[in-house]
Amino acid sequence: MVDIPLSPPPVGDVSRRPSPGYVVIPRSPEIDAEEERLSRALVATVGGCRPVVTAEQVSQYLLAPYDIPATRFSVHGYQPEDFLLMFEEVADFDRAFRGPPPPSTPFQQIWKRWSRLSVASPKDLRFRVLLVLSGIPAHTWSLDSAQPILGSSCAKLEPTEDTVNRTDLKHFVVADWRVHPDLIPCVRTLLLPEPKLPHDPGNLFLKEHELIHSKLSLLTYCVAVCLLEWQDRTPRDDDDNGMLPDNWD
């Protein structure tokens, strides 16, 4: 019996893509501002036999009776609930959230306040590491470059004073909270797009947005990552205060 070799899965097939992993999104002023805006938001679930309901119907049957101008709220598809209702004014939010349910609606709607905790589970990062990156080019010497180089499991990079002052451009030194030291890469290839060239209309006199490009030109740099020190700050029974000593703070 002759074994027929199996053809490889197509490009983009699930079996060829990276396995699941941790992705830490660093806290930012933009996230804080969005959470503040969502403090005036409701999430809504269609109840009963769950008929098909559109965002326009939610606006018409559930918000119109509260006399809220259409310019001061918006309705969006959402998961795991069905809709996200965002209000520009606190008074409008309170009127919809605390008021009596609208009469004679063709469907049942259950709503509650939006919360970042609703579909989340808690986790603490206990590993504190000190890292050295070698090979970062001078024109990309920043935390914005170091963050993707170190991977998605880094939480909050804290550069040393020499790194900030660019005292030694050979070594980019940062402290960080990590999911686990084993997830720190040893070597990374940094790919940086080349500067955009001035637009040349050519013989066809095409505008810039009409051009169809066949490639994106980049430069590649090899960056080595060295783990100088790591600490597991998981509380121990024999610790006096439940924490290991902090050598850097």
CATH number of the CATH domain containing 67? 3.30.70
Q: What is the DSSP letter of 134?
A: E
Backbone angles phi, psi at 172, to 5 degrees: -100, 105
- What is the average pLDDT across 67-72? 87
Q: Are residues 60 and 146 in the same domain?
A: no
- Among 93, 79, 81, which Cα is nearest to 38's? 93
β-pairing, 187-193 with 172-178? unpaired
Strands (E), 124-186: 127-134, 158-159, 172-178
Residue 69 has pLDDT above 60, yes or no: yes
Beta partners for residue 235, in sequence order:
none
Residues ≥6 apart with Cβ < 8 Å to 93: 40, 41, 42, 87
Residue 74 has a pLDDT of 92
- What is the average pLDDT across 209-225? 84
Residues ≥6 apart with Cβ < 8 Å to 32: none
Q: Are residues 106 and 137 in the same domain?
A: no
Residue 239 has pLDDT above 70, yes or no: no
CA–CA dist 239, 235 (Å, integer): 7
Residue 183 has pLDDT above 70, yes or no: yes
- Confirm whether 204 is domain-assigned: no
Strands (E), 80-157: 83-87, 109-113, 127-134
Q: Write the single-letter amino acid at 153.
A: S
Number of domains making up the chain? 2
Q: Coil, strand, or helix at residue 76?
A: strand
Q: Are residues 166 and 109 in the same domain?
A: no
CA–CA dist 130, 159 (Å, integer): 10
- What is the average pLDDT across 158-175? 93
Residue 237 has a pLDDT of 61
Q: Are residues 150 and 222 in the same domain?
A: yes
CA–CA dist 84, 115 (Å, integer): 11
Q: Output the pTM of the full model.
A: 0.70
Residue 142: domain span: 127-197+214-232
Q: Which residue has the tokens 């610790």?
A: 239
Beta partners for residue 154, in sequence order:
178
